[in-house]
Homo-oligomer: A and B are copies of this chain.
Amino acid sequence: MNQGRLTVVGLGPGDPRWLTPATAEALSAATDLVGYGPYLARAPEVPDQRRHASDNRVEVERARLALELAAQGRRVAVVSGGDPGVFAMAAAVFEALETGDPAWRKLEVRVEPGVTAMLAAAARVGAPLGGDFCALSLSDNLKPWDVIEARLRAALGADFVLALYNPISSTRPWQLRTALTIAAKIRGPNTPTIFARAVGRPDERIAVLDLADADPSTADMATLVIIGASTTRRIEREAGHAPYIYTPRFYGAGR
């Protein structure tokens, strides 16, 4: 029997030097790549490899195609940006696997971890994720806004640092402004806030702001937003250098 396999990989946020050797191996060993077109374009060229590009709206169909190809004996890599397990393709593959052809459960499905966007965004400014933190997608395409808002309020109330994925898009224009308004009411207006766009790509843009000054219109689909905890600190530097932002490891009486 021709034993197909499926590996779900992430390319990291942008800089090819963040792509792990394990992911590079999986990409070069694959007969077929399946993924959103711009991600496939970032994967190194491999002779005779078939590439199945799709747009960014059809994750489960894309996952089904990948599982079908693997069931036919192909060695398939499903390609995400960042880490494939964080707001990316791995969950879609398992959704498709659970609801699809029972034979798919016999396939070897592996996930390779990667560098997710919040880690790269945090690294660019210092260590804002140095304390406890939550990762929350602001997209209400797949969950109701009241769930998102309840999670946002819970995380803010318990003083977690927040990493907001999918903060805004042309079809979701108001969610980020609402989230920033809620955050400003619960945390102080001077809370360090980071808008990190396209980290590691040529069009990277990093802004370190006070929460009260964060303007949602400067964010887009490629932006990752970090909102500090009450303890998150700013270290000023000489003129022309952005401050460092970090969250101390200690909290309250724990110093």
Interface residues of A (CB under 8 A from B): 8, 12, 15-22, 25, 59, 83-87, 90-95, 97-98, 105-106, 109-116, 119-120, 122-124, 126-137, 140-144, 147, 150-151, 153-155, 157-160, 233, 235-238, 244, 246-255
Q: Are B143 and A85 in contact (CB under 8 A)?
A: no
Q: Are B249 and A126 in contact (CB under 8 A)?
A: no
Chain B residue with the shortest CB-CB distance to A124: B111
A88 to chain B, nearest CB (A): 8
**Which of B91, B105, B143, B247 contacts A254, CB < 8 Å?**
B143
Complex CA–CA separation, A133 to B151 (angstroms):
10
Other CB < 8 Å A-B pairs besides A17-B25, A94-B130, A115-B115, 15 of them? A17-B20, A20-B115, A21-B21, A85-B123, A85-B127, A85-B129, A91-B249, A94-B235, A112-B123, A113-B115, A132-B151, A134-B135, A144-B251, A147-B252, A154-B155
Q: Are A143 and B91 in contact (CB under 8 A)?
A: no
The complex is assembled from copies of this chain, and their number is 2
A175 to chain B, nearest CB (A): 13
Q: List 22 A-B contacts (CB under 8 A).
A: A17-B22, A19-B21, A86-B130, A87-B130, A91-B127, A93-B127, A95-B246, A97-B244, A105-B235, A105-B236, A105-B238, A111-B122, A111-B126, A113-B115, A113-B120, A132-B135, A133-B134, A142-B251, A147-B251, A153-B158, A154-B155, A155-B158
Q: Are B249 and A142 in contact (CB under 8 A)?
A: yes
Q: Which residues of the partner chain B approach A250 to less than 8 Å between Cβ atoms?
A: 142-143
Known A21-B19, A126-B94; judge A155-B131 contact (CB<8 A).
Answer: no
A177 to chain B, nearest CB (A): 20
A224 to chain B, nearest CB (A): 12
Q: Are A119 and B83 in contact (CB under 8 A)?
A: yes
Q: With a 10 A CB-CB cut-off, give which of A12, A21, A84, A124 has the most chain B CB atoms.
A: A21
Known A116-B119, A237-B105; judge A20-B19 contact (CB<8 A).
Answer: yes
Known A21-B19, A91-B249, A127-B85; judge A254-B147 contact (CB<8 A).
Answer: yes
